[in-house]
Chains A and B, each alone.
Chain A
């Protein structure tokens, strides 16, 4: 499958998906760690892709989302943002309802 199709399928098949460096239990970057912490705080299951072990996705996802850096949080097919935005939304109490709604389907 073409890499862009593969990315599209991942994003469409998972209501909540985080592209990050490392894994939720062992993040490899402070920005990814902070983002995954905010997301885990919401208490819902989410999918993740470790872009350090998926170099093709790392190279192509920035084109897909017009977003050059990681982590990237996608909810219901829409790019929510990276660490700065997710952390800010968490602090404002905006992340929880978004995640709860997405988890409910």
Chain B
């Protein structure tokens, strides 16, 4: 749970989120049981107002810094509070096709 907590605290500090949901989806991939390699982040924050999706994701990656090198995947679903009120649920992540066997995380 170390990376899980680390990511949650990085994101909380950087975005003051109204809603933060970090799901460890590593079990869906070809990595050992108990891994912290694949995460999905659903993030609702005022900070995203006026930003296109690319810019939103770039601000998340910038906040994550070196932590991005320690994980394999971070599925990102970023919303303003208004968008979240309309949508209310983030999409499902794709199933694994084995590509992370090539990695060393």
The interface of chain A, by Cβ under 8 A from chain B, is 21-22, 27-34, 52, 66-69, 79-85, 87-88
Chain A proximity mask over B62-96: 1 for CB below 8 Å, otherwise 0: 10100011000111110000000000000101111
- Given A22-B99, A81-B54, is A31 in contact with B61 using a C-beta cutoff of 8 Å? no
Is A87 a contact partner of B97 (Cβ separation < 8 A)?
no
Point out the residues of chain B lying under 8 angstroms from A22, CB to CB: 97, 99
Partner of B74, one of A34, A69, A81: A69
Q: Does chain A have a CB within 8 A of B24?
A: no
* Smallest CB-CB A-B distances: 10 pairs: A30-B94, A29-B99, A28-B99, A68-B68, A85-B53, A34-B94, A21-B99, A81-B54, A30-B95, A30-B96
* The residue from A21, A31, A79 contacting B75, defined by CB atoms under 8 A apart: A31
Partner of A31, one of B57, B62, B73, B102: B73
CA distance A3 to B104 in the complex (A): 23
Q: Contacts of A68 on B, CB cut-off 8 Å?
A: 61, 64, 68-69
Q: Is the CB of B97 within 8 A of A84?
A: no
Roughly how many angstroms separate A81 CA and B102 CA in the complex, as a whole number? 23
Contacts of A30 in B (CB 8 A): 93-97, 99
Q: Does B58 sit within 8 A of A, measured CB to CB?
A: yes
A66 contacts B58, C-beta separation under 8 Å: yes
Can you give 12 A-B contacts (C-beta < 8 A)? A21-B99, A28-B97, A28-B98, A29-B97, A30-B94, A30-B96, A31-B94, A68-B68, A69-B73, A81-B53, A83-B75, A87-B91
- A1 and B104 alpha carbons, distance in the complex (Å): 29
Q: Which residues of B from 44 to 67 have beta carbons under 8 Å from A?
A: 53-54, 57-58, 61-62, 64
Among A34, A52, A66, A88, contact of B102 (Cβ-Cβ < 8 Å): A52
A3→B62 CA distance, assembly (Å): 23
